[in-house]
Chains A and B, each alone.
Chain A
């Protein structure tokens, strides 16, 4: 008896049903015995944080799972795994995406940037990261990588947003601590508009 069949489990099952045994060590992976044999190529070359990463990915695997459980890029957080909170926000070709709601196969040929890809090799923080530090923007910090990536994406299209534009630009990123004011202060600081 499946005592807990519901929408979430159904969707999760659909997503998970294609995920490879190759990632079993990280738990997001599955045996995948019921996967169609003619499915798309598994071995992908992904451009992640400026590097080409070869990774074994199954057809219905989400980008968040690939990043976290295959590549160890755990800065991308899963707060809801269903496109509600934005904690998993990454940039795909400079556009903010919820990594929990994007199939990894759809990232082929595109540049993926995660929070781990912002800091310079010499350890210098990205200006957005630095602004988040200076404004004490995070509280618990769990949503912070998503907030930072949404900010980086916003500033790439609008380098000097008004506070209201920033508010709308980040509105897909939930912060349960309610640190919104400080995050917006950081956006304004990062764009050279600190007050």
Chain B
């Protein structure tokens, strides 16, 4: 299909602010009379406040007040309270001091007399699972059930030993789901592989620390924050700050990176609002890099075991997956189940069982991180695919092709359908473009101390949902205002999804203005900006809103010029009579007529089924032009899959254990390409994230004292320019999904999963097929293997040096 806007590059309006420095992130806002808050955070991994004397601090000149957990609403464990009297990780915020400036606040914190009683702690899930092992919280050591709650689970000593030494796990797992006949399917296997594995958690480390500023004015609470999502924040943040949603003004024009850590409002986001209310003045809470490490979230760690059966023709016939999850001390998501889901769709096994033990630890809180679960398992399972291919005498791309999901694919425990899938086409496209057959001839080639490794990896994430709202507004000056409730997280999807509306309206992009970034700008209800959902979800929402606008344009024209609405058509920002094209209104004239007609035409009336957030947005613009607004009720016949495939060539130095990535290609299998440069940036950026997960990024905790050892960028080690190739190629299948009006599906998370998998496969390839079964694979791990030494860390060790 030929589009005017879809598939074409454009200049997103916010990019000018980014290159000129005019972009305002949360910390860049100031208001008169602002107080500055600083946090006192826990120096212990688990403790209880025994004594607290705020007097000396409050007596200091320039100190406005102190906020403690006792000033705030209580939150049930293990949900994250804003402040706490029982810190559960080093860096857990205990109290905040507000003062005339930050130094005074810091000095006041130094004068606070606080006595903490140390409590048992753990930084390793399998330590906690031991008989009489330490519980991360006084309430228990696991977070499971339906609905999930904190409980206690300890294994028998022999169960722990069996798990740590790679034996088939027998201990109780609170989470379990299965489909198919596992035993019968394993009976059909020609090759069965059994592996233990570890994927270490690591910090999100967004570039912008999550600073927040708040104040109250005329009963309204203003919050300037940093979140991936915009409209989706409103109903969650409002109760956190104690205000009705209609009295919350939320500004997040720019978000300096989130990667899953800023999907929802986070606890400290509500702190300045509470403090501002208490003090009667605006409060700014600037977050330091160290604090961002503590409260900025981290990936869930896995310690696991896999048994996978492969038929003689290469088909994956059965998978048994057991995962102990390191959840940190608070509520965390379903990474393990997502890992099972990813295996179910990528390889289409006849039978699959997922068992999981979600264990709490006294490390930093965890949350979704780009491909939560899907990307951990991609790093582990894809090298196993290579091993199976080797044992069956198959090419590594060929075995993936044999198992490739198509549009009849099933996934998850319920074996539900997908909207579409074209992985066979994607593999073929990538193998051809990357010249796979020729490049694999270089596998294991030795040049001095360097060995070539070639890898291919696949990534998956569900990538789209439905039921959200779109809003377009045509004003008498002819301008088309595309209201986007999508957050500005760096993907430009807040703007690119609105191009689906421009497509329907057949208008020039120069006539469009994307309205976004602050709730007071009248933004519609949006999905969260996470889970790769936005492109699918909001091209649909924009499409239906624009369809509503077009219907109203035709009705307005019929009312003004005679005839029936169906006699009219649109183009060139005009609505015209099909038989007599001179009988026409410009969009601006139609907007003026809509104001005159009122009712649903000008937004005075709104559809019943739209969200309250959208109803308020419509009310805010009512009577100013022609309003197109609708909820996305389009059919969606299954899970919307997003896939990506990475091809990588590395050179591994067997004397130093270091490697260099020579060449990389990412192939997106994400439906129609909406914004080529944006997709390219996501595929490449996801690749960089995958490289980091594979080889450099990890949590490092001192098990004796629970101390984190890498709270800075340098130690956490996200990849730099010098860790990645200076050119990274990309391609896309560009095959439309039938359940999206422009054919689009999401991509952000698989773009990373395929890269971590490809690098893991390439490292294995360089070393004759050895499976490390661990992320990250650091040089010491490689050198220990080459030297024939045992691993530098203990069995299934997690969060360690």
Minimum CB–CB distance for B689 against chain A, Å: 6
How many angstroms from the CA of A149 to the CA of B100 in the assembled complex?
A: 33
Given A27-B286, A175-B207: A116 in contact with B20 (beta carbons within 8 A): yes
Minimum CB–CB distance for B734 against chain A, Å: 18
CB pair A178 B284 closer than 8 Å:
no
CB pair B254 A141 closer than 8 Å:
yes
CB within 8 Å of B: which A114-140 residues: 114-116, 118-119, 125, 129, 132-133, 135-136, 138-140
Given A87-B207, A141-B256, A184-B726: A178 in contact with B686 (beta carbons within 8 A): yes
CB pair A142 B208 closer than 8 Å:
yes
Closest to B22 in A: A75
Q: Which bucket holds chain A's interface residue count?
A: 35 or more
CB within 8 Å of B: which A42-59 residues: none
CB pair A29 B109 closer than 8 Å:
no
How many angstroms from the CA of A3 to the CA of B489 in the assembled complex?
A: 35
Minimum CB–CB distance for B468 against chain A, Å: 23
Q: What secondary structure prevails in chain A residues at the interface with B?
A: loop
Q: What B residues does A8 contact at CB under 8 A?
A: 288, 290
Which of the residues A13, A29, A119, A136 comes within 8 Å of B20, measured between beta carbons? Answer: A119
CB pair B490 A16 closer than 8 Å:
no
CB pair A138 B490 closer than 8 Å:
yes
Q: What B residues does A75 contact at CB under 8 A?
A: 20-23
Q: What A residues does B684 contact at CB under 8 A?
A: 178-182
CB within 8 Å of B: which A11-60 residues: 12-13, 16-17, 19, 21, 23-32
Task: Answer whether residue A85 sits at the interface, using C-beta atoms and an 8 A cutoff.
Answer: yes
Closest to A149 in B: B21
Q: What A residues does B595 contact at CB under 8 A?
A: none
Given A75-B20, A133-B19, A170-B721: A179 in contact with B712 (beta carbons within 8 A): no
CB pair B101 A176 closer than 8 Å:
no
Which of the residues B15, B22, B100, B116 comes within 8 Å of A138, measured between beta carbons? Answer: B15
CB pair A176 B25 closer than 8 Å:
no
Task: Answer whether residue A108 sits at the interface, using C-beta atoms and an 8 A cutoff.
Answer: no
Task: Answer whether residue B114 sits at the interface, using C-beta atoms and an 8 A cutoff.
Answer: yes
Minimum CB–CB distance for A137 against chain B, Å: 8
Q: Residues on A close to B: CB < 8 A?
A: 1-4, 8-9, 12-13, 16-17, 19, 21, 23-32, 73-82, 84-85, 87, 114-116, 118-119, 125, 129, 132-133, 135-136, 138-145, 148, 163-164, 166-168, 170-171, 173-182, 184
**Can you list 25 residue pairs at the A/B interface with Cβ under 8 Å?**
A4-B40, A9-B106, A12-B288, A16-B102, A32-B103, A75-B21, A79-B208, A80-B712, A81-B288, A85-B207, A85-B713, A114-B21, A115-B19, A115-B21, A116-B22, A132-B15, A140-B207, A140-B254, A170-B721, A175-B207, A176-B259, A177-B207, A178-B724, A181-B724, A184-B721
Pairs of residues from A and B, 3 with the lowest C-beta to C-beta distance, nearest first: A75-B21, A178-B688, A30-B103
Q: Residues on B close to A: CB < 8 A?
A: 9, 11-12, 14-25, 27-28, 30, 32, 34, 36, 40-43, 61-62, 100-104, 106, 109-110, 112-116, 205-209, 254-257, 259, 284, 286, 288-290, 489-492, 677-678, 680-681, 684-689, 712-714, 718-722, 724, 726-728
